[in-house]
Amino acid sequence: MSYVRDLTTPINQALLAENMNLGIVLPIESRGDIRVEVFLFRVVRAYPLVKVLSTELPTINPGGIVDFNYVGSAGLGSGDDVFEIPEEYPWRIYHFGMGIKPSWIKLYRAVPSGYVSMGWARKVPTKVGDEYDYVDGSLSPFEEPTVSSESVVFKKLSFTIGLKNDSAVATRPLIRILGKSYEVTPITSKKLIDLIISGKIPCRLITVGGLVRFPYCYPPEWTGKSVVFGVNEFQNILQNIWG
Amino acid sequence: MRPEETIHVVKQLTIPAGATSSSEVDLVPLYGTSSQVPSNKYARVFYGLIITNPGSTTATITINIYASDGTTKESSMDLIVGASSTLLVSKNIDSPILVVPAGRYVKAVASVPSAPSADVTITLLMNAYDV
């Protein structure tokens, strides 16, 4: 599905299959005139991506928080990073949602590490525990993660999470990662790119890291295969395609 | 609200030998630290209740609700359980028996009409969830 506006849409309805299009949207500027760098891909192969984080997560005291850290095989910040894609897979992309149990656990994301994913335009970055920029288990439940928690990870993009226990009882949460792993090939034809950006060719465009600006890395194999859009470029494409 | 997300209060109210009431105890949820309904919630919804009175006389369990200052009593209700009896109130999760607004404290005390010759421990189990 290209356009998914309803935040409660199950992530299953936003995942892609072979021969569908995926776009990664990265921020060059996020204040004043917006400029983005977009990588467009065709999904060549796909496979389910499923994992439950249970013993990797700590018990959190009532009202307590766990600050941002990577999801390690032995715990948050411990062991191999579950989301780290090895060097030999430059065209591998993880696309997933995160289902949370119980409903009172709040999940915060910092993608890449050190840059909190935010939608609220705040003067100071959101911290774990703030009443902003979180997804809780009622919005993205364990049994059926929703697009409110939709994320992508590729090589050289770090993915960290923070948690808050917004209840009166100590809780050890569970998080269900549900999605797909893709092998992709880049789309570099200007004609195809314009048709995708104009909406004529379907493509699932995904914002990376919320609406903040951050320095980002991507696999060196991706170099030269992106397009940069600002206000004028968007207008020109839309005018050329739609008249 | 899923069943596994409910919270439970398990408290024992002991009436010492020679006394007619227990001390008042905070109804703190299991694995919780306070009987206060979190201030960022709307209410704590109680939908299930079990009280066991092993004593030889009828016991009264008084549920008290205090304001957010912890000392101003806002409401009080008496639940009466016969001698050697269990009071069971089992409702659906969406049919509450008591709704306590945010910020309030919930406490309980047990009493009997005449002092027992040995300690009497009354067990209180309540099911609830916060919304």
**Span A133-140, average pLDDT:** 97
From B4, B7, B36, residue closest to A169, measured CB to CB: B7
Please, which residues bridge with residue A44 across strands? none
Q: Is B69 on the interface with A (CB under 8 A)?
A: no
- Give per-residue pLDDT as tens, A48-67: 999 999 999 999 999 999 99
Reported confidence tier of residue A1, pLDDT bands at 50, 70, 90: low
Q: How confident is the model at residue A176 (pLDDT cuts 50, 70, 90)?
A: very high
Percent of chain A residues topping a pLDDT of 70: 99
Closest CB to A102: pick one of B5, B34, B37.
B5
Rounded CA-CA distance A186/A196 in Å is 13
Contact criterion met (CB < 8 Å) for B31 and A63: no
With 0-12 CB in 10 A as exposed, 13-18 as middle and 19+ as buried, what is A241?
middle
Any A CB within 8 A of B92 CB: no
Cα separation, A219 vs A103, in Å, equals 36
**Cβ neighbours of A101 in B, within 8 Å:** 4-5
CA pair distance B59, B82, nearest whole angstrom = 6
Give the Cα separation of A169 and A106 in Å (integer): 14
* pLDDT interval class at A130 (50, 70, 90): very high
Residue A204, by phi and psi: left (phi above 0), alpha (psi -120 to 50) or beta? beta
Q: Is A167 in Cβ contact with B33 (below 8 Å)?
A: no
A102, A166, A169: residue with CB nearest B32: A169
- Partner residue facing B32 (CB), from A62, A104, A131: A62
Residue A121 has pLDDT above 70, yes or no: yes
DSSP string, B18-51: T-SB---EE-PBTTBS-SBPPTTSSEEEEEEEEE
Q: Are A201 and A19 in contact (CB under 8 A)?
A: no
Q: How many other C-beta atoms are found inside a 10 Å radius of the C-beta of residue B37?
A: 25
Q: Which residues of B touch A102 (CB under 8 A)?
A: 2, 4-5
* pLDDT at residue A238, rounded to an integer: 84
**From A169, which residue of chain B is nearest by alpha-carbon distance?**
B32
A-interface mutation test, from B5, B7, B36, most A Cβ less than 10 A away = B5
- A199-241 per-position pLDDT tens digit: 899 999 999 999 988 999 999 999 999 999 888 888 888 888 7
CB A151 within 8 A of CB A96: yes
Q: B5: which chain A residues are within 8 Å (Cβ-Cβ)?
A: 101-104
Q: What is the pLDDT of residues B19-54, one digit of tens each?
A: 999 999 999 999 999 999 999 999 999 999 999 999
Is there a contact between B15 and B21 (Cβ–Cβ < 8 Å)?
yes
B38 touches chain A (CB under 8 A): yes
Q: B2 in the Ramachandran plot: left (φ > 0), alpha (ψ -120 to 50) or beta?
A: beta
ipTM, interface predicted TM-score of the complex = 0.83
Confidence of residue A2 (pLDDT cuts 50, 70, 90): low
CA distance A104 to A89: 36
| The model's pTM | 0.91
Q: Which residues of B98-113 are buried (b: 16+ CB within 10 A; e: fewer)?
A: bebebbbbbbbbbbbe
pLDDT tier for residue B4 given thresholds of 50, 70 and 90: confident
Residues of chain A positioned with their CB less than 8 A from the CB of B34: 62, 168
Q: A114: pLDDT confidence band, cut at 50, 70 and 90?
A: very high
- B103–A contact, CB cutoff 8 A: no
Q: Under an 8 A CB cutoff, do A103 and B130 touch?
A: no
pLDDT over 90, % of chain A? 87
Mean pLDDT over the full length of chain A: 94
State the CB neighbour count (10 A cutoff) for residue A45: 13
Interface test with A, best of B6, B31, B35 (most A CBs within 10 A): B31
Percent of chain B with pLDDT strictly greater than 90: 91
Mark yes or no for CB contact A61/B32 under 8 Å.
no
Q: Which residue of B has its CA nearest to A62?
A: B32
Instruction: Inform me whether the C-beta atom of residue B78 falls under 8 Å from chain A C-beta atoms.
Output: no
CB nearest A169 (choices: B4, B30, B37): B30
Name chain A contacts of B37, Cβ cutoff 8 Å: 168
Local confidence band at B93 (pLDDT 50, 70, 90 cut-offs): confident
